[in-house]
Amino acid sequence: MRLAHLALAAATFLTALGAAPSAMAQAFPSKPLKWIVPFPPGGPTDSFSRPVAQKLSEILGQPVVVENVPGAGASIGMERVARSPADGYTIGLATTGTHSINPHLYGPRLPHDTSKDFTPITLATRYVNMLVVNAKLPINTVGELVAYAKANPGKVNFGSAGNGSSNHLSGEALKLVTGAPMQHIPYRGSALALNDVMAGNLTYMFDIPITAMQAVQTGRVRALAVTSEKRSPYFPTVPTMAESGVKGFSEVGSDLWFGIVGPAGIPKPALDKLNAALIQALRSTEIRQRMSAAGFEIWTSTPDEFAKVIKVDRDKWEPIVKGSGAKVD
């Protein structure tokens, strides 16, 4: 009888051990999560992240605290994500710039490997850049901007969210394709650069429509073109760069994206839960409507699909970065 009791106790103990990982996985998350935005407050990445993080918090039943960690072309914030514990409680907003452009701009100076030091969780959205110019200048088309730059060497400058951002490289590509002399001035975020375009301290910039459209609608800047291959369904009156006479530009400007990543090695149960919850948040009617109004197209994926996009885009941007001569200070 005693042997039978011992056997039963041992079986119960082993069963409990086997169930422990499952119970732990089901318990995730049991504390607040941190969402790192590698750009300053007020810019498009911040405007995108905060409502999605709030919706994610509602779904997971835990606070999701957004923290802005700007600097060095977003590499400081991404480094914070990469070096955080791989437990699923720290995630961050990745972009085309952080994961596909920065490796070529910074090379060995980049403190992390974007293909090895992160866990891709899901793609979030795709978007276009829009070329906007100071409204007081006599420039109404991209062709006129190029002609103005060539006629006024040293006087045309453009801003960006920082070295390595997609709007930085869009400006460099315009220089490369047209041969027009244009000086890049990096800012700590798109909002600061756009303020200087409106004030006349910058000639133009490429910006995400979410931050540019209010300035366009109020007449403080003029929209000249979008960088995608086809016109944006959200801004159908704005021509493409190709329609504006800059052929082949869509190879640089298309397929811009935001995605959500964490440190490398997030356990699969936590990864699966994060992926499902983020997709639910992004596909919610509330978020879809909000992002559509801002010109963002929701684009979700599996972690493996996201990893493939990062790899393909890294390969695509390499010759573009090198050919443009884009540099980081």
Q: What is the pLDDT along the chain (329 residues), one digit of tens a residue?
A: 444 454 444 545 445 445 444 444 458 999 999 999 998 898 788 889 999 999 999 999 999 999 999 988 889 999 999 999 999 999 999 999 899 999 998 999 999 999 999 999 999 998 889 999 999 999 999 999 999 999 999 999 999 987 777 888 889 888 888 889 999 999 888 889 999 999 999 999 999 887 788 899 999 999 999 988 888 888 899 999 999 988 877 765 566 899 999 999 999 999 999 999 999 999 999 999 999 888 888 999 999 999 999 998 898 888 878 877 776 76
Which tokens in the block code for residue 256? 């811009």
Contact 211, 167 (CB under 8 A): no
Which tokens in the block code for residue 106? 């910074």
Contact 200, 134 (CB under 8 A): yes
Distance, CA of 153 to CA of 157 (rounded, Å): 10
Per-position DSSP letters for 155-195, written without gaps between them: T-EEEESSTTSHHHHHHHHHHHHH----EEEE-SSHHHHHH
Contact 51, 289 (CB under 8 A): no
DSSP 100: I
Cβ-based neighbours of 57, under 8 Å, separated by 6 or more: 33, 63, 64
DSSP H/E element including 67: strand 64-68
Distance, CA of 139 to CA of 141 (rounded, Å): 6
Place of tokens 């010109």: 295
Distance, CA of 18 to CA of 73 (rounded, Å): 45
Q: What pLDDT does residue 169 have?
A: 84
CATH architecture for residues 130-253: 3-Layer(aba) Sandwich (3.40)
Contact 261, 137 (CB under 8 A): no
Q: What pLDDT does residue 19 have?
A: 44
Q: What pLDDT does residue 23 have?
A: 41
Cβ-based neighbours of 68, under 8 Å, separated by 6 or more: 36, 37, 39, 40, 41, 46, 77
* Chain-centroid distance, C-alpha 176: 24
pTM beyond cutoff 0.85? no
Distance, CA of 126 to CA of 103 (rounded, Å): 20
Closest to 133 in 3D by CA, of 166, 156, 165: 156
Same fold, 31-125+254-324 and 130-253: yes
Q: Say how many residues make up the chain.
A: 329
Domain locations in the chain? Answer: 31-125+254-324, 130-253
Residue 213 — φ and ψ, nearest 5°? Answer: -65, -35
CATH of 31-125+254-324, one of 3.30.390.50, 3.40.190.150, 3.30.1490.20, 2.20.25.90: 3.40.190.150
Helix (H, G, I), strand (E, B) or coil at 123: strand
Q: Which amino acid is at 217?
A: Q
Residue 144 — φ and ψ, nearest 5°? Answer: -70, -35
